[in-house]
């Protein structure tokens, strides 16, 4: 292949990747649900299912509302008046509901977030909202763990960030291998929590032993 032609193909592929998918209309979404109801073997025109497409579409608007929020902008308002506080800030047991991108099945669990501030701190409700922004998208747990940690590190620029997620995945409890009671644990450590064993042990002691607590009502 001539070099010039190969270069043009590469540019074309990159430009295609940068173009977001066009969002369908609400009516197209409703029709898609009706199609899935027929695929399941039922009649979307029967009385009990007439309102189901609208309810499903409204549910999707809630389940995936994170696509409409900017996680970086969420953390922009910070505070520097801490009277010299420079110890760990941790928020434990942030419950979340997400959906796996492979089967659109629920992922339900808890997130533990901690950071070691350098100059700035952020309101604790913003930590919970940051979790929600990423949870309300199609996800895999490993990626969600990294996204939360990386965003905190990028915006706050602290000395260290720690994120631990414990969750049950219904894509393996209600289908496939059918193994209920299984909890997946993921973690991401940055800065001091990655490089300093003492800081890592301290933050894990504050968060608690991952996997040690059961996830009730999952």
What amino acid positions are annotated as catalytic residues?
Answer: 100-103, 141, 169, 171
Q: Which of 198, 208, 193, 189 is nearest to 92 (CA)?
A: 208
In the numeric block, which tokens belong to residue 158? 């602290």
The C-alpha angle 108, 114, 118, rounded to 5 degrees, equals: 150
- Tell me the CA distances in angstroms from 138 to 79, 143, 160, one per residue in order: 32, 10, 27
Count the alpha carbons within 13 Å of 110 in the hemisphere toward its beta carbon.
18
CB 112 within 8 A of CB 188: no
- Specify whether the backbone of 181 is left (phi greater than 0), alpha (psi in -120 to 50) or beta: left
d(CA 37, CA 130): 34
E strand map for 59-204: 78-79, 89-100, 106-116, 121-122, 138-139, 160-169, 184-191
């Amino acid at each position: 292949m001539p070099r010039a032609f190969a270069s043009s193909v590469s540019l074309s592929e990159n430009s295609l990747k940068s173009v977001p998918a066009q969002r369908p209309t609400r009516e197209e979404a409703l029709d898609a649900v009706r199609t899935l109801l027929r695929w399941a073997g039922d009649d979307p025109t029967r009385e009990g299912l007439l309102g189901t497409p609208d309810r499903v579409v409204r549910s999707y608007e809630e389940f995936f509302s994170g696509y409409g929020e900017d996680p970086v902008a969420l953390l922009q308002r910070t505070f520097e008046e801490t009277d010299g506080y420079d110890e760990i800030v941790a928020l434990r047991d942030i419950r979340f509901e997400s959906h796996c991108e492979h089967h659109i099945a629920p992922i339900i669990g808890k997130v533990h977030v901690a950071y070691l501030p350098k100059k700035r701190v952020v309101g604790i409700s913003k930590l919970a909202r940051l979790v929600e922004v990423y949870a309300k998208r199609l996800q895999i747990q490993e990626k969600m763990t990294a996204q939360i940690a990386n965003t905190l590190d990028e915006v706050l620029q602290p000395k260290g960030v720690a994120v631990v997620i414990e969750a049950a995945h219904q894509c393996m409890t209600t289908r496939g291998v059918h193994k209920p009671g299984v909890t997946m644990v993921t973690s991401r450590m940055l800065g001091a929590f990655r490089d300093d064993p003492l800081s890592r042990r301290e933050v894990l002691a504050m968060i608690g032993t991952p996997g040690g607590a059961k996830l009730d009502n999952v």
